[in-house]
């Protein structure tokens, strides 16, 4: 039985969520009308998963999430709006420890329940098996239990990097889904501005969120980080994030290697599709000049394509189970025998540096 605590100030949304969760025989659900009530029920109900609205009176979603992560860490799914503001808040929630989010449909939620419901159920099931790292905000939790006043941790923003002028001779392709934004931060922040190969990323997300994610990472990394919204020549020292709600593929325009957004292909169930990205890269770049990285995420997107890449002479890295929030995608690559290296997320950047010229 999966115990779900759903925190939302809207009586209509709570009723609809009750219908969605009540249709599942292995779900037990409790509701809270706001963050304060949710914190009270956290200990008494002992949920396996929390779904958490962002905008609530008295204690909003971020403040509630902060308390959950300090008092009783468990998988949290944020229920977010598909606005730019909603995207920024959701990315901050993922940084604070939420494992995933679901986009709340606009307008009449009840009319879109047939799409929203199955996605939410799928994500709740994945979250129930998600791994919350024991080190997550450990110092904050200790201070909280000792009653110390908590001050928010702020990271310094690096100075504007000097962009690499030369186009790399190879390419790093990355696939990531559930738990992706913190994993991408751990991957990209250690890399220097002169990293010799472009990095092309398929992160499963709506378009509103990928643009916000690119801006956030660009402010944190020495590498330049940008979203692919139009055909773009690939350059060293830059990481490119495929625009959400579509796919991104590698192409050539003359001698120039490019990344291009394309309409999503229904032959691939997740978007931007890692499988499609990797296979397109293999059409235009020699396998020995490709490195595939598959990180946290539910499902198996990228596993088959990266196994084929390794068989053709490319090199592949799978995030290890010890750090992956959901060891679905990288786990499937390992099971397929397609991983040259199985590494915790904080060691992948160093391996990339050792594999590139």
Which positions are annotated as active-site residues?
Answer: 177, 204, 301
- Residue 291 corresponds to which tokens in the numbers above? 């490195």
* CA nearest neighbour of 189 among 233, 155, 144, 148: 155
Residue with tokens 């809207």, as numbered in its chain? 10
CA separation for the pair 228, 206 (Å, rounded): 13
Q: Which residue has the tokens 């997740």?
A: 270
Quick one: which of 198, 203, 175, 348 has its CA closest to 278? Answer: 175
**C-alpha span between 247 and 173 (Å, rounded):** 13
Q: Collapsing DSSP states into helix, strand and coil, what is residue 227?
A: strand
State the Cα–Cα distance between residues 79 and 105, nearest whole angstrom.
Answer: 10
The answer to whether residues 183 and 176 touch, using CB atoms and an 8 Å cutoff, is: yes
Pairwise CA distance, residues 216 & 239, whole Å: 13
Pairing of strands 256-262, 171-176: unpaired
Residue 318 · residue 333 · CB < 8 Å: yes
DSSP string, 173-215: EEEE-TTHHHHHHHHHTTS-TT-SS-EEEEE---HHHHHHHHH
Whole-number CA gyration radius for the chain: 20
Question: What is the Cα–Cα distance from 24 to 88, expressed in whole angstroms?
Answer: 32
What pairs with residue 343 in β-bridges?
A: 319
């Amino acid at each position: 039985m999966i115990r779900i605590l759903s925190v939302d100030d809207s009586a209509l949304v709570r009723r609809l969520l009750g219908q969605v969760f009540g249709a599942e025989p292995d779900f037990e659900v409790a509701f809270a009308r706001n963050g304060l009530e949710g914190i009270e029920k956290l200990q008494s109900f002992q949920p396996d998963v929390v779904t958490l609205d962002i905008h609530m009176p008295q204690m909003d979603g971020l403040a509630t999430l902060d308390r959950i992560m300090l008092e009783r860490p468990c998988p949290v799914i944020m229920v977010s709006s598909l606005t730019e503001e909603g995207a920024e808040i959701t990315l901050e929630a993922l940084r604070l420890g939420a494992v995933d989010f679901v986009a709340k449909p606009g307008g009449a939620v009840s009319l879109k329940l047939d799409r929203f419901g199955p996605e939410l159920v799928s994500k709740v099931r994945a979250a129930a098996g998600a791994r919350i790292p024991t080190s997550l905000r450990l110092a904050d939790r200790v201070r909280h239990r000792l009653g110390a006043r908590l001050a928010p941790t702020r990271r310094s923003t690096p100075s504007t990097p000097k962009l690499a002028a030369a186009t790399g001779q190879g390419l790093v392709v990355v696939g990531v889904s559930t738990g992706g934004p913190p994993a991408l931060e751990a991957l990209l922040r250690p890399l220097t501005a002169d990293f010799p190969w472009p990095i092309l990323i398929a992160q499963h997300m709506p378009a509103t969120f990928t643009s916000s994610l690119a801006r956030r990472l660009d402010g944190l990394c020495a590498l330049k980080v940008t979203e692919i919204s139009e055909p773009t020549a690939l350059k060293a020292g830059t990481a490119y994030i495929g625009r959400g709600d579509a796919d991104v593929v590698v192409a050539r325009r003359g001698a120039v290697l490019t990344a291009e957004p394309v309409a999503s292909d229904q032959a691939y169930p997740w978007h931007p599709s890692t499988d499609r990205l990797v296979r397109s890269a293999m059409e235009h770049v020699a396998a020995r000049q490709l490195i595939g990285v598959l990180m946290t995420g539910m499902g198996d997107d990228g596993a088959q394509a990266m196994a084929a890449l390794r068989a053709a002479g490319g090199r592949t890295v799978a995030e290890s189970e010890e750090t992956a929030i959901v060891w679905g995608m990288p786990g499937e690559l390992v099971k397929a025998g397609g991983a040259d290296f199985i590494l915790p997320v904080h060691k992948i950047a160093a391996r990339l540096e050792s594999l590139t010229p």
